[in-house]
């Protein structure tokens, strides 16, 4: 009986609740890409090395190839599609754009979500702290310096935004 092997999960993704029947073996990255059609989260190694699949799960950056969809039942997930507000890019996205922090873009969603967690926890990271935070995200194109520059610019932009909000 087909239904016997599936479980209903409800996951809030970018503020929208998505309920689906899934097999217990389905990974969160496949739930996002295949079940609800958000293909901005990429799959690379599927062995927790590359970080292309990184999303925020209840405010913690996770590699979504290491999480089962059933483990995320009831959780809040933020993907790259949830960062921009309409046509307005998130400051981290703007910074990657302005500093040329990407070439092919395959690693970029994961880099940006990992940066999001870093700047939530440490709004003014040093270069060493940035490199350490990103060491679980691999990039085959950029040589990393432009990504580090992007994170530094994102920190400045988000700092300025926070100051404006306090005024």
Site for ligand FES contains 144 (CB under 6 A): no
Q: Which is nearer to ligand FES, 6 or 34 (CB)?
A: 34
DSSP, collapsed to helix, strand or coil, labels residue 13 as strand
Of 6 and 131, CB closest to ligand FES: 131
DSSP code of residue 68: B
Residue 102 within binding range of ligand FES, rule CB under 6 A: yes
* Contacting residue, 142, 153, 155, 158, with ligand FES by CB under 6 A: 142
Dist. CA 72–CA 46, nearest whole Å: 17
Which of helix, strand or coil describes residue 36? coil
Among residues 10, 21, 59, 104, the one that binds ligand FES under rule CB under 6 A: 104
Least Å from the CB of residue 105 to ligand FES: 6
| Contact string 23-62 vs ligand FES (x = CB under 6 A) | --------------------xxxx-xxxxxx---------
Taking the CB of residue 152, how many other CB atoms lie within 10 A of it?
A: 17
Task: Give the ranges where the chain is alpha helix by DSSP (H).
Answer: 28-30, 91-98, 108-121, 127-133, 145-166
User: Phi/psi class of residue 47: alpha, beta or left (left: φ > 0; alpha: ψ in -120 to 50)?
Assistant: alpha
State yes or no: residue 143 binds ligand FES (CB under 6 A): no
Q: Which two tokens stand for residue 95?
A: 């910074």
Task: State the residues that interact with ligand FES by CB under 6 A.
Answer: 43-46, 48-53, 63, 65, 102-107, 139-142
């Amino acid at each position: 009986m087909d239904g016997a092997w599936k479980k209903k999960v409800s996951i809030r993704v970018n503020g929208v609740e998505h309920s689906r029947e899934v097999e217990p073996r389905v990974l969160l990255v496949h739930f996002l890409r295949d079940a609800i059609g958000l293909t901005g989260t990429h799959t690379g190694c599927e062995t927790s090395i590359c970080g292309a699949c990184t999303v925020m799960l209840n405010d913690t950056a996770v590699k979504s190839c290491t999480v089962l969809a059933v483990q995320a039942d009831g959780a809040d997930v933020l993907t790259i599609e949830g960062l921009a507000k309409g046509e307005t890019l998130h400051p981290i996205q703007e910074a990657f754009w302005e500093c040329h922090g990407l070439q092919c873009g395959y690693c970029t969603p994961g880099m940006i979500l990992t940066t999001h967690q870093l700047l939530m926890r440490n709004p003014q990271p040093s270069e060493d702290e940035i490199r350490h935070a990103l060491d679980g995200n691999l990039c085959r194109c950029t040589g990393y310096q432009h990504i580090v520059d992007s994170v530094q610019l994102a920190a400045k932009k988000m700092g300025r935004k926070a100051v404006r909000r306090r005024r």
